[in-house]
Amino acid sequence: MKFSFSKKAVIAPLVALAVSASVISLFLVCMGESPSILVEAFTSTFFNSFGLGYTLYYTTPLILTGLSVALSFHAGLFNIGSEGQLHLGAIAIVALSCFFPNLPSFLAVPLGVLVALIFGGIWGMIAGYFKAKRGSHEVIVTILLNFIGIILVNYLILYPFKNTEVQNPETVEIGKGYVLPLLSDFTTLLGSDFFLTTPVNITLFLSIIAAILCYLFLFHTSKGYEIRALGQNPTAAEFNGIAVGANFILVLTLSGALSGLVGVNEVMGYHHKLIEGFSPQYGFTGIAVALIARNHPLGIILSALLFGAIHNGAREIEFLSEKMTKEVSVIMEALIIIIIASQPYFVRLFSKSKKEGAK
Amino acid sequence: MKKTFFCEIVLSLSLLLGLSGSLHGEIKVGLALDKGGRDDKSFNAAAFLGATEAQNKLGIKLKTVESSDDISLEPTLRTFAQKQFPLIIAVGFVQKNAVERVAKQFPKAHFVLIDATTDAPNVRSIVFKEHEGSFLVGALSAMASKTHKIGFVGGMDIPMIRRFQLGFESGVKHINPNATVLTNYVGSSSEAWRNPTKAKELALSQYNKGVDVIFSPSGASGLGVFDAAEQMQRLAVGCDSNQNWVKPGLVLTSMLKKVDVAVFKAIELETQSKFQGGIFDLGLSENGVDYSLDEFNRKLISSEMESRIQTIKSDISNKKLKVPDYYLKMKKAKSF
Amino acid sequence: MAQTSPPLLEFSKISKTFGAVAANRDVTFSVHSSTIHGVVGENGAGKSTIMKILYGMFEPDHGVISLKGKPTPIRTPQEAISLGIGMVHQHFMLVPTLTVWENIILGKEPSLWFVDEASVMGQLENLKKEFGFQVELNQKVETLSVGHQQQVELLKLLFRKSDILILDEPTAVLSPQEVESLFERLKNLKKAGKTIILITHKLKEILNHTDCVTIMRQGTVVETLATRDLSEEILAEKMIGHKRSPLKRHEEAHTPQAILQVSSLTLKKPMGQKLSDISFEVNAGEIVGIAGIEGNGQQELIKCLAGIERHFDGQIVFNNQNILDVDSYDLKQMGFSIIPPDRHREAVILPFSISENAILGHHKEREIRNGWFLSGSKTEPIVSHMIQRFDVRPKDPHLSMVSLSGGNQQKLVVARETSRPVQFLLAAHPTRGIDIGAIDFIHQHFLELKSKGTGILLISSELDEILKLSDRILVLFHGRIVAQFTKETANERELGLSMTGGTV
What is the count of residue pairs from A and B with beta carbons less than 8 Å apart?
76
Q: Which of B127, B162, B128 is nearest to B255 (CA)?
A: B128
Beta-strand pair C336-339/C424-428: parallel
pLDDT (average), residues B299-322: 93
CA distance B116 to B279: 9
Residue B106 in any domain: the answer is yes
Task: Label residues C176-196 b or e (16+ Cβ within 10 Å = b).
Answer: eebbebbbebbeebbeeebbb
Which of the residues B188, B191, B331 would you substitute to probe the A interface, choosing the one with the greatest number of A C-beta atoms within 10 Å? B188
What is the number of other CB atoms lying within 10 angstroms of the CB of residue C398? 13
Mean pLDDT of chain C: 87
Confidence of residue B193 (pLDDT cuts 50, 70, 90): confident
Are A241 and C330 in contact (CB < 8 Å)? yes
- Asked if A236 and C306 come within 8 Å (Cβ–Cβ), the reply is no
Q: How far is CA C419 from CA C370, C396, C425, in A?
A: 22, 19, 12
Partner C contacted by A228 (CB < 8 A): yes
Q: How far apart are CA C306 and CA C262, in angstroms?
A: 13
Q: Do C306 and A239 touch (CB under 8 A)?
A: yes
Residue B143 sits in the same domain as residue B52: no
Per-residue pLDDT reduced to its tens digit, C265-301 = 999 877 665 898 999 999 999 999 999 887 788 989 9
Q: What pLDDT score was predicted for residue B322?
A: 92
B148 and B167 both lie in a single domain: yes
pLDDT of residue C109: 64
Contact C499, C475 (CB under 8 A): yes
Q: Is C379 on the interface with A (CB under 8 A)?
A: yes
Task: Give chain C positions within 8 Å (CB) of A226.
Answer: 363
Whether pLDDT at C2 is above 50: no
Chains that touch A (3 or more CB pairs under 8 A): B, C
Higher pLDDT, C249 or A304: A304
Alpha helices in chain B (DSSP H): 2-21, 43-58, 73-82, 96-105, 130-144, 159-175, 196-208, 222-232, 259-271, 303-317, 326-335
Cβ density class A70-104: b for 16+ within 10 Å, e for less: bbbbbbbbebbbbbbbbbbbbbbbbbbbeeeeebe
Same domain as B43, residue B186 = no
CA distance A131 to chain C (A): 17
* Residue pLDDT, tens place only, A212-223: 999 999 999 999
Q: How far apart are CA C51 and CA C503, in angstroms?
A: 42
The reply to whether B107 and B166 lie within a common domain is no
Quick check: C364 and A222 CB within 8 A?
yes
Q: What domain range is B33 assigned to?
A: 24-128+260-282
Task: Please report the pLDDT score of residue A269 as a whole number.
Answer: 95
**B260 and chain A in contact, CB less than 8 A:** no
Q: What is the pLDDT averaged over residues C468-484?
A: 92
Nearest to C495 by CA among C477, C469, C480: C477
Distance between CA atoms of residues B80 and B92, nearest Å:
17
d(CA A10, nearest CA chain C) in Å: 20
The pLDDT of residue C7 is 87
Does C360 contact chain A (CB < 8 Å)? yes
Do the Cβ atoms of A278 and B71 come within 8 Å?
A: yes
Q: Do B88 and B215 fall within a single domain?
A: no
Strand partners, C275: C267
B: neighbours with 3+ CB pairs under 8 Å?
Answer: A
Instruction: Check whether residue B68 and residue B56 sit in a common domain.
Output: yes
Instruction: Kindly state whether residues B68 and B207 are assigned to the same domain.
Output: no
* Max CA distance (Å), chain A: 76
CB contact under 8 A, C376 and A228: no
pLDDT category, B208, cuts 50, 70, 90?
A: very high
Residue B275 has a CB neighbour count (10 Å cut-off) of 17
CA distance C410 to C344: 10
Question: In DSSP terms, which residues pair with C213 in a beta bridge?
Answer: C38, C225
Whether B206 and B328 share a structural domain: yes
The pLDDT of B57-83, averaged and rounded, is 88
Distance CA C161, CA C331 (A): 56
Q: What is the residue-averaged pLDDT of chain B?
A: 88
What band does B336 get if pLDDT is binned at 50, 70 and 90?
A: low
Q: Pick the more confident residue, A142 or C69.
A: A142
Band the pLDDT of B12: cuts 50, 70, 90: very low
What's the pLDDT band for A336 if we cut at 50, 70, 90? confident
Question: Among A32-41, A320-329, C469-478, whose mean pLDDT is lowest?
Answer: A320-329
Cα→Cα distances C279→C260, C314, C316, C481, Å: 11, 9, 9, 8
What tens digit of pLDDT does each residue of C374-430 get? 988 999 999 999 999 988 888 889 988 888 877 889 999 999 999 889 999 999 999
Chains B, A in contact: 3+ Cβ pairs under 8 A?
Answer: yes
Whether A222 sits inside 8 A of C345 (CB atoms) is no
**Residues of chain B positioned with their CB less than 8 A from the CB of A39:** 9, 12
**Which of C331, C373, C401, C429 would you mutate first to test chain A, the one with the most A CBs within 10 A?**
C373
Which pLDDT value is given to residue C80? 92
Q: Does residue B9 lie within any of the structural domains?
A: no
- Is B85 contained in some domain? yes
Q: Which of C355, C360, C369 best probes binding to A when mutated, by most A CB atoms within 10 angstroms? A: C360
Q: Could you tell me if B317 and B327 lie in one domain? A: yes
Q: What is the pLDDT of residues B101-138, one digit of tens each?
A: 999 999 999 999 999 999 999 999 999 999 999 999 99
**Closest chain B residue to A280, measured at CA:** B69
Across the interface, whether the CB atoms of A326 and B158 are under 8 A apart is answered no
Percent share of chain B, pLDDT over 70 = 92
Predicted pLDDT at B68: 72
List all chains that touch chain C, counting a touch as 3 or more CB pairs closer than 8 Å. Answer: A
Q: Look at residues A169, A163, A171, A164 and name the one whose alpha carbon lies nearest to residue B327.
A: A164
Residue B18 has pLDDT above 50, yes or no: no
Cβ within 8 Å, pair B189-A158: yes
Task: Count up the domains in chain B and report the number.
Answer: 2
Backbone φ, ψ for residue C213 (5° rounding): -145, 135
Pick from A154, A280, A316: CB nearest B71: A280
pLDDT in tens, A161-175: 998 888 888 899 999
Strand order in the sheet with B278-282: B61-66, B28-33, B87-91, B110-114, B123-128, B278-282
Burial-class residue B29 by CB neighbours within 10 Å (0-12, 13-18, 19+): buried
Do B103 and B177 lie in one domain? The reply is no
For C296-366, where are the alpha helices, taking DSSP H only? 298-305, 328-333, 354-358
Q: Give the pLDDT band of residue A274 (cuts 50, 70, 90).
A: very high
One-letter amino acid for residue B167 of the chain: G
> A275, B70: Cβ pair inside 8 Å?
yes
Taking the CB of residue A53, how many other CB atoms lie within 10 A of it? 23
Measuring CA to CA, which residue among A167, A257, C336 is closest to residue B157? A167
CA distance A279 to A282: 6
**CB–CB of A232/A244 below 8 Å?**
no
Is any Cβ of chain A less than 8 angstroms from the Cβ of B84?
A: no
Domain co-membership, B193 together with B309:
yes
**Residues C189-236: pLDDT tens digits?**
999 999 999 998 788 888 999 999 999 988 899 999 999 888 888 888
End-to-end CA distance of chain C: 46
All structural domains of chain A: 63-305 (1.10.3470)
Closest Cβ opposite residue A221 in set C355, C360, C374: C374
Res. C253: pLDDT tops 70: no
Residue A129 has pLDDT above 90, yes or no: yes
Q: Write out chain B residues lying below 8 Å of A315, CB-based.
A: 72, 75-76, 79
Instruction: Establish if B288 belongs to a structural domain.
Output: no
Least confident of A162-171, B83-92, B269-278: A162-171
Work out the pLDDT band at B3, boundaries 50, 70, 90. very low
Residue B16 lies in a domain: no
C339 burial class (0-12, 13-18, 19+ CB within 10 angstroms)? buried
H-run or E-run covering B110: strand B110-114
- What's the whole-model pTM score? 0.83
Task: Looking at the structure, tell me whether residues B246 and B140 fall in a common domain.
Answer: yes
Point out the residue among A2, A240, A243 whose CB comes nearest to the CB of C360: A240
CATH (domain of B265): 3.40.50.2300
Give the model's pLDDT for residue C110: 60
Q: What is each CA distance from C244 to B273, C232, C235, C465, in whole angstroms?
A: 103, 11, 11, 16
Split at pLDDT 50, 70, 90, the class of C180 is confident
**A241–C346 CB contact, under 8 Å:** no
Residue A190 sits at the chain C interface (C-beta within 8 Å): no
Confidence of residue A44 (pLDDT cuts 50, 70, 90): confident
pLDDT higher than threshold 80 for residue B195: yes
What domains does chain C contain, in order, with CATH numbers?
A: 9-240 (3.40.50.300), 258-349+420-499 (3.40.50.300)
Structural domain contains residue B13: no
Judged against a pLDDT cut of 70, whether residue C13 lies above it is answered with: yes
DSSP string, B256-301: EE-HHHHHHHHHHHHHTT----EEEEE-TTTTSEEE---TTTGGGS
- Residue C454 backbone dihedrals phi, psi, to 5 degrees: -75, 140
Q: Please give the share of chain C, as a percent, with pLDDT higher than 70.
A: 95
